[in-house]
Amino acid sequence: MTDSTKPTLLIVDGHSLAYRAFYALPVDSFVTRDGQHTNAIHGFLSMLISLLGKEQPTHLAIAFDISRFSFRTRDYPEYKATRDETPSEFKGQVPLLQEALAAMGVPTITKEDFEADDILATFARRGREAGMRVLVVSGDRDTIQLVNDDVTLLYPSVRGVSELKRYDPETVMERYGIRPEQYPEIAALVGETSDNLPGVPKVGRRPRSSGSTSSAASRRCSSERMRSPARWASRCASTAATPSATDD
């Protein structure tokens, strides 16, 4: 049960939610006279205002990536190398969004050589250690591993950013059949992407086998994976064709 007497820290993955807002709203309906698209900005701010009204956090921060490059790309140059280029209509919206947030008095946080995910994880841990109730808002499923009794993930639905599904440890177990801290192991086994956005290739997906694995077995394993990734990993990972990841 949530302790409503605790202070609440709300931390948001800025790039993740802005990118989802971009795909949720028609790009041509939000454009200034000089040609700057603003659908991601509009969707993000609408989501944030609604979220602040609903959750009433005592503390708030929004984390952003600085670039695609970090310590991970130095250690592993192929990290996220298969991702498509950022849509031209999205470019320029993040700096404008950051300006809008600054005008609203909302703190934004970046750190050279690190991703927004790293900032979220750090603040989630520090917030919990400080006795806070922590709400992490992100469309990146990697953040499932942050969930615990004091940290709840608010994950956007396939409809964009207007509806957020709450993930606590019980919800993660019900949805995936694993504890939150086990999620990275399962995601690695099934070759699942973290955010499953339009235009983002499914990294690590295994091709369908035309030989030893029958189509019936493949369908059975695919169904197994959707019901319980943990069982899928133990029974089917070595032979089954991996279906594309699906949103909640």
DSSP string, 143-187: GGGG-SSSEEEEEE-TT-SS-EEEE-HHHHHHHHSS-GGGHHHHH
When mean pLDDT is compared across 3-7, 41-45, 177-181, the lowest value belongs to 3-7
Cβ atoms of residues 23 and 109 within 8 Å: no
Q: Provide the pLDDT for residue 95.
A: 95
Cβ atoms of residues 183 and 229 within 8 Å: no
pLDDT (tens digit, 9 = 90+) per residue, 41-91? 999 999 999 999 999 999 999 999 886 655 566 665 665 555 667 888 998
Quick one: which of 17, 2, 19 has its CA closest to 56?
Answer: 2
Q: Does this model's pTM top 0.75?
A: no
* Bridge partners, residue 167, by sequence: 153
- As a whole number, the mean pLDDT across the chain is 77
Q: Which residue has the higher pLDDT, 108 or 91?
A: 108
Cβ atoms of residues 18 and 101 within 8 Å: no
Q: What is the mean pLDDT of residues 163-173?
A: 95
Of all residues in the chain, the percent with pLDDT exceeding 70 is: 66
pLDDT value at 231 more than 50 = no
Sequence-ordered list of residues with C-beta below 8 angstroms from that of 40, at least 6 positions apart, any chain: 18, 19, 21, 22, 25, 90, 93, 94, 97
Q: Provide the pLDDT for residue 159.
A: 64
Q: What is the mean pLDDT of residues 148-171?
A: 90
Domains of the chain: 8-167 (3.40.50.1010), 181-248 (no CATH)
Q: What is the mean pLDDT of residues 174-178?
A: 91
Q: Provide the pLDDT for residue 112.
A: 80
User: Alpha-carbon distance 133 to 57, whole Å?
Assistant: 9
Q: What is the mean pLDDT of residues 194-203?
A: 42
Assigned token pair, 72: 């991970």
Q: Indicate the pairing of strand 151-156 with strand 164-167.
A: antiparallel
User: Alpha-carbon distance 2 to 151, whole Å?
Assistant: 10
